[in-house]
């Protein structure tokens, strides 16, 4: 009997729920922008996916005087605008909203923590959450240390019943302003919390493509043998933004691109590209290998700084046909501000795998396009047997990992063009998450919040990594602070940055890759 050619239906997706510890989630800074745009929509999306514990509650804490109902309505508006599930469905939202609570509280006042402790005891009894607490500091960095110390003084930082009841704390970036402040903050945190309780968040590590980088490298036997100085010419990491400083001028003008992006996001990406295979896909082994990378990066010498570090600031320009202001014309920015809105750096890693392979990192605001990606350029074939056309010269082999937008990856190779002559041409082999998996990608905050609830710290930075990162960039910060830039602003909004950034590569016969 012939086999049936009738298409078989795809197997139904089996929904399952991992049993997670009951807990109370306490958000300091609950009326702020991060809570509205990221945290509450992420928690709602997790609830829609049935990924939160059966017993949980969220307590928002901030100075603004709001009732529970007012806070819930404010969060409903935020969820409608930012949830990947769209406008909240009536019954689903009601189920989630009754878990939301609010307490007006000035986190800078020590006597407020006794009231907070009493509120948590009551909510724990009401929601049967067993005293497990996750504290999220979505506040100004200047408040981190005092909140941590007051949580300790009030007894809210302790883990009880020999660790069976847990307490964890998530601390947003920036973790410190330089090496000295990072060390001081880490010392103060460690006096109250054990390292296993502390989750220093970098939302880039929760992005799907960033997580996939480790899987891509270590699950595919064809790439790891060529992931080294013998086959890789250089690596580029770009995080470009179209937006300006917007409403963040007060913070950004005291920070700049090096502190805001390079010290955390870009160095994390560099470590994921360059690290050795970990002994296990777990927090401890992954953290150790990433730390080894930072410890192998060649320190910057003051006399060489101009050849390996470029800073820039955007001038007025045109974005998508519209005129936009320069950085110094933005609200809240001084007319003579020397804060950099662009940074490009050349790193070298002195170990056996990467010796002699430059890593170029760049980030900036008001650039041509919003783009975050990692590009690995491989060495050319030792003998070029096939010619390419003058109109379409042969390009190098590139592996590009797109972090945002259009998460995915592409591989550029040379193939023969159709016709009677043997002529090569560069083509792109492409993979897109959205096109191939046909599913909503969880937000980075969904991933990281869920990991913190489960006690999985693999996607969070530890104190040693933070301090090593600051140790690398602090000499650059100090040099730039001592010597004012001579030519700011030095790139127009809507461009790919200052000309000096192009020279960073062109003097070595290379160029930035832009799609």
Q: Which residues participate in catalysis according to the annotation?
A: 265
Q: How many Cα atoms sit within 13 Å of 74 on the Cβ side?
A: 19
Strands in 423-497 per DSSP E: 423-432, 491-492
User: CA torsion angle for 452, 454, 455, 460 (degrees, to 10)?
Assistant: -40
Q: In whole angstroms, what is the distance from residue 160 CA to residue 153 CA?
A: 15
Residue pair 480/302 in contact by the 8 Å Cβ criterion: no
Q: In whole angstroms, what is the distance from residue 105 CA to residue 60 CA?
A: 10
Q: In whole angstroms, what is the distance from residue 468 CA to residue 255 CA?
A: 19
With residues binned 3-state (H G I as helix, E B as strand, rest as coil), the percentages for the chain, rounded to 5, are 40, 20, 40
Give me the sign of the Cα torsion angle 73, 75, 81, 85.
negative
Q: In whole angstroms, what is the distance from residue 262 CA to residue 360 CA?
A: 11
Q: Which residue has the tokens 């010269």?
A: 393
The tokens for 25 are: 């989630």
Q: In whole angstroms, what is the distance from residue 416 CA to residue 482 CA?
A: 54
Phi-psi map region of 206: left, alpha, beta (phi>0 left; psi -120 to 50 alpha): alpha
User: CA torsion angle for 491, 476, 506, 273 (degrees, to 10)?
Assistant: -110
Task: Give the burial class of 49: count Cβ atoms within 10 A of its Cβ; 0-12 exposed, 13-18 middle, 19 or more buried.
Answer: middle
Q: In whole angstroms, what is the distance from residue 472 CA to residue 300 CA?
A: 7
């Amino acid at each position: 009997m012939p086999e049936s050619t009738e298409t078989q239906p795809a197997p139904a997706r089996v929904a399952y729920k991992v049993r997670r510890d009951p807990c109370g989630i306490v958000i300091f800074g609950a009326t702020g922008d991060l809570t509205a745009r990221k945290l509450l929509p992420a928690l709602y999306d997790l609830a829609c996916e049935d990924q939160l514990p059966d017993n949980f509650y969220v307590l928002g804490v901030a100075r603004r005087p709001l009732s529970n109902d007012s806070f819930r309505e404010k969060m409903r508006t935020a969820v409608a605008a930012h949830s990947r599930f769209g406008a909240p469905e009536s019954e689903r939202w009601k189920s989630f909203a009754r878990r939301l609570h609010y307490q007006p509280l000035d986190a800078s006042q020590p006597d407020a923590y006794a009231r907070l402790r009493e509120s948590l005891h009551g909510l724990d009894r009401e929601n049967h959450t067993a005293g497990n607490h996750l504290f999220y500091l979505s506040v100004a960095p200047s408040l981190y240390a005092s909140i941590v110390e007051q949580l300790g003084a009030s007894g809210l930082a302790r883990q009880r019943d020999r660790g069976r009841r847990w307490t964890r704390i998530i601390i947003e970036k920036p973790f410190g302003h330089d090496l000295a402040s990072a060390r001081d903050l880490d010392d103060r945190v460690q006096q109250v919390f054990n390292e296993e309780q502390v989750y220093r968040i970098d939302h880039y590590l929760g992005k799907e493509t960033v997580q996939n980088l480790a899987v891509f490298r270590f699950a595919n036997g064809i790439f790891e043998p060529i992931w080294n100085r013998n086959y890789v010419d250089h690596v580029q990491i770009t995080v470009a933004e179209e937006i300006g400083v917007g409403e963040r001028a007060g913070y950004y003008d005291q920070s700049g691109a090096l502190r805001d992006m390079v010290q955390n996001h870009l160095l994390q990406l560099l470590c994921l590209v360059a690290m050795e295979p970990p002994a296990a896909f777990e927090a401890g082994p992954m953290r150790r290998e990433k730390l080894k990378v930072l410890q192998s990066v060649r320190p910057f010498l003051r006399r060489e700084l101009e050849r390996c570090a470029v800073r820039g600031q955007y001038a007025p320009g045109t974005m998508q046909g519209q005129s936009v202001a320069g950085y110094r014309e933005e609200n809240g920015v001084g007319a003579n501000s020397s804060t950099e809105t662009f940074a490009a750096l050349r790193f070298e890693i002195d170990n056996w795998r990467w010796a002699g392979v430059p890593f170029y990192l760049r980030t900036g605001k008001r650039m041509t396009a919003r783009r975050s990606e990692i590009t690995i350029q491989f060495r050319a074939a030792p003998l070029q047997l096939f010619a390419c056309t003058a109109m379409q010269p042969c390009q190098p082999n590139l592996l590009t990992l797109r972090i945002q937008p259009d998460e995915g990856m592409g591989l550029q190779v040379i193939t023969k063009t159709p016709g009677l002559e043997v002529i090569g041409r560069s083509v792109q082999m492409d993979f897109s998450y959205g096109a191939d998996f046909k599913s909503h990608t969880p937000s980075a905050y969904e991933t990281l919040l869920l990991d913190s609830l489960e006690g999985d710290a693999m996607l969070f930075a530890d104190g040693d990594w933070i301090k090593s990162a600051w140790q690398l960039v602090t000499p650059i910060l100090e040099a730039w602070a001592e010597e004012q830039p001579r030519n700011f602003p030095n790139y127009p909004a809507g461009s790919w940055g200052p000309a000096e950034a192009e020279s960073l590569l062109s003097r070595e016969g290379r160029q930035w890759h832009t799609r």
